[in-house]
Structure 1
Amino acid sequence: MIRYGIVGCGHIAKKHVAAIAAVEGAELAAVCDTNEERLKEFAVGDVRGYTDLSEMLKSDIDVVNICTPSGLHADLTVQAAEAKKHVIVEKPMALTLEDADRMIDACERNGVKMAVVHPNRFRPAVVQLRKQLENGAFGKLGHANATVRWNRNQAYYDQAPWRGTKAMDGGVLMNQAIHNMDLLLWMMGDIEEVSSYHATRVRDIEAEDTSVSIIRFKNGALGVLEAAVTIYPRNLEESLSIFGEKGTAIIGGPTANWIKQWKFEGLEEDEAQAVIEQVEKDPYGIPGHQCIIQDMTDAIREDRTPVVSGEEGRKALSFVIACIESAETGKPVRMAELNRK
């Protein structure tokens, strides 16, 4: 049995609790939060509650799931790694590349595994898209587009004083679009350069609520990223589009769970429709957090690297940071130069 402990008993922790309960061979053994009232909701039955992480780390848990505000992720990951515990950390893994590197180094030095929560990789439509790319069905890639047109109203940001701050939270890129940025990287490969604009147009927050970026990938393909949390009155769409010399694929809907276009050279219409209908039968599939827990459980037993490793999480973070730096300086940012800093 792989025993899990959760740090941070806020909204996202509930998904971790459900995911652990759904995975055979995994169990929730402990929870930690400085707020004793919140802790009571999670520390039930055989689940032990702690207000001090140092005390929880003395217990016989195997994995620490970090579900705190983003600005706390780095120090808590290092603390868990030093205690020889594996780590699952919510996105973004950190708010700076220096912190991300510190986390990766701590896990490597202590021989523990780290996974970053990017659950959208496990959506059925995304899995089908990845298969087509691996099979070379697109041929030469031309360009890609990722769109996040969502609503996060002022009440969302007013829930806690850290929301929307640069030091502890971040804006639309760090909080919402980072999942789509992870998918762009996973599908299109590494980035050469980004050029971005962002603004805080509607929400009363420190970070950006709207952002647009132009991307040049190392393979020569181009990309466009549009992200906003200002859409009235509710979430409108989330989409991922890939275009190549022999294929066109668009995944969309209010969340990117449905195949909207599926055209490939040599693929008959009935074959394409069969894929679309297969996804439509169960567009959400196994919950992404459950897939992350299952993967970590298997990775420990098989002594392998988790699918969404610390290095993978760092790539998405560096993409976000490059866009923010470009917007703030008014200049394109080359990824090689960013990663040398």
Structure 2
Amino acid sequence: MSKSLRFGLIGCGRIAPHHARAIQGLPGAELTAVVDVIEERAYRFADDYGAEPHLDYQEMLRRPDIDVVSICTPSGMHAQMAIDAARAGKHIIVEKPMALSLADADAMIAEAKANHVKLCVAFQNRYNPPIQDLRAAVQAGKLGRRLLGNATVRWYRTQEYYNDGWHGTWAMDGGALMNQSIHHVDALVWLMGEPVESVFAYSATLAHEMEAEDTVVVALRFASGALGSIEATTITYPTDLEGSVTLLGERGSVKIGGVALNRKEMWKIEGELEREAEILSENQVDPLSVYGTSHPHVFNDFLAAIREDREPFVNGTEGRAALAVVLGVYESARTGQPVLINHRPG
């Protein structure tokens, strides 16, 4: 496949420019069409990025010149749009979370497979250099046996943020864990290198008027017996404080933080202790927002996966893993009981 791949982007909200710029900066890719139900926004976005505007995503899916669809809509719309795109023969990049239920996630994976298209979930922080470095250290056995893992998200969102009709609702979004913190859940599980076996959680809505939680605390048990914890909140007045992942092992302890999991905050590994100051000075540039700067890597890998007929780095099954943990947390918080995590698609 040598021709340029043509993209259609659905949803012209706050994350969409990151997708549009990534597409435009990638050789062999063209942003051909954009869709939004708000006419003014669709036409303005199309004008900004040199694409053709649509108000109906089904209309765009009928276009034979669209090869790939990028889904940037509210989370509750992801599954049906992805399924429709797969049935139309389009490859799919979908923003996190890929869906709001495991049944929908499994249906997305199944439809992509049945229609011979690729499905990718946008967990861009996996490509951040500090995350890549920690993953390499784990795989090389430098930390020894992983004993304890933690993800902490202490961010702030105003009440106005939740007054837009979909943020903080169960039908379209979820709360602080599903929306703001699923990137950190994904990073924690991926870096620990093993599935979460069970969770126990408390959640509450402490400082906002919204359906879902603005605060959750979680205890985790991994398959090996390692333990973990998650703290996620959007009540950290008046501004974001911390978004981090920490791993403690037999021979090393590492913490990755920064604006978007982009900064090494602690790197104490046996054999490298004397180099910690040097290591902490590498790749320490904070991005302008929590979206980070790694979306181009997601799109670059996805185009390569299409051309090479292989699975993308973060395929549907990978995206499902973090979703399963989040939904297990919600079930535990609702029932007051520990919950075993469902890792079996279907």
On whether the aligned pair clears a TM of 0.5, the verdict is: yes
Structure 1 position 120, deviation (Å): 1.1
Distance, in Å, in 1 between the alignment partners of 2:89 and 2:230 is 38
Structure 1 position 25, deviation (Å): 1.5
Post-superposition CA distance 1:178-206 (Å, at most 9, x none): 00000111011101110000000101100
Structure 1 position 290, deviation (Å): 1.2
Could you say which residue in structure 2 is the equivalent of 1:261?
Answer: 266
Q: What letter corresponds to residue 68 of structure 2 in structure 1?
A: V
Does the 8 Å contact 1:16/1:289 carry over to 2? yes
Could you say which residue in structure 1 is the equivalent of 2:341?
Answer: 335
Could you say which residue in structure 1 is the equivalent of 2:159?
Answer: 154
Distance, in Å, in 2 between the alignment partners of 1:162 and 1:143 is 35
What secondary structure, in the 3-state scheme, does the structure 1 residue paired with 2:181 have?
helix
Could you say which residue in structure 2 is the equivalent of 1:225?
Answer: 230
Matches within 5 A, 1:77-88: 77-88=82-93
Q: What letter corresponds to residue 167 of structure 2 in structure 1?
A: R
Q: 1:194 aligns with which of 196, 199, 204?
A: 199
What stretches of structure 2 of length at least 5 have no aligned partner? none
Distance, in Å, in 1 between the alignment partners of 2:50 and 2:125 is 31
Does the 8 Å contact 2:151/2:188 carry over to 1? yes
Compared with structure 1, are the counterparts of its residues 127 and 283 closer, same or farther at alpha carbon in structure 2 (3 Å cutoff)? Answer: farther
Task: Calculate the TM-score normalised by the size of structure 1.
Answer: 0.95
What stretches of structure 1 of length at least 5 have no aligned partner? none
Could you say which residue in structure 2 is the equivalent of 1:57?
Answer: 61
Structure 1 position 340, deviation (Å): 8.1
* Identity between Structure 1 and Structure 2 (%): 47
Task: Calculate the TM-score normalised by the size of structure 2.
Answer: 0.94
Structure 1 position 35, deviation (Å): 1.5
Does the 8 Å contact 2:259/2:286 carry over to 1? no
Distance, in Å, in 2 between the alignment partners of 1:26 and 1:100 is 27
Alignment of 1:164 with 2:172, yes or no, is no
What secondary structure, in the 3-state scheme, does the structure 2 residue paired with 1:175 have?
coil
Structure 1 position 289, deviation (Å): 1.4
Structure 1 position 283, deviation (Å): 5.0
Compared with structure 1, are the counterparts of its residues 253 and 47 closer, same or farther at alpha carbon in structure 2 (3 Å cutoff)? Answer: closer
Alignment of 1:289 with 2:281, yes or no, is no
Could you say which residue in structure 1 is the equivalent of 2:14?
Answer: 11
Alignment of 1:274 with 2:278, yes or no, is yes
Alignment of 1:298 with 2:301, yes or no, is no
Post-superposition CA distance 1:87-146 (Å, at most 9, x none): 000111000011111111110000000000111111121111111011110111110111
Compared with structure 1, are the counterparts of its residues 244 and 299 closer, same or farther at alpha carbon in structure 2 (3 Å cutoff)? Answer: same
Alignment of 1:37 with 2:32, yes or no, is no
Alignment of 1:99 with 2:104, yes or no, is yes
Q: 1:136 aligns with which of 121, 141, 148?
A: 141
Structure 1 position 54, deviation (Å): 2.1
Compared with structure 1, are the counterparts of its residues 51 and 340 closer, same or farther at alpha carbon in structure 2 (3 Å cutoff)? Answer: closer
Structure 1 position 253, deviation (Å): 3.3
Q: What letter corresponds to residue 8 of structure 2 in structure 1?
A: G
Compared with structure 1, are the counterparts of its residues 226 and 82 closer, same or farther at alpha carbon in structure 2 (3 Å cutoff)? Answer: same
Q: What letter corresponds to residue 311 of structure 1 in structure 2?
A: T
Q: What letter corresponds to residue 322 of structure 1 in structure 2?
A: G
Distance, in Å, in 1 between the alignment partners of 2:298 and 2:216 is 28
What is the root-mean-square deviation in Å for CA atoms of aligned residues? 1.7
What secondary structure, in the 3-state scheme, does the structure 2 residue paired with 1:193 have?
strand
Distance, in Å, in 2 between the alignment partners of 1:67 and 1:244 is 37
What secondary structure, in the 3-state scheme, does the structure 2 residue paired with 1:278 have?
coil
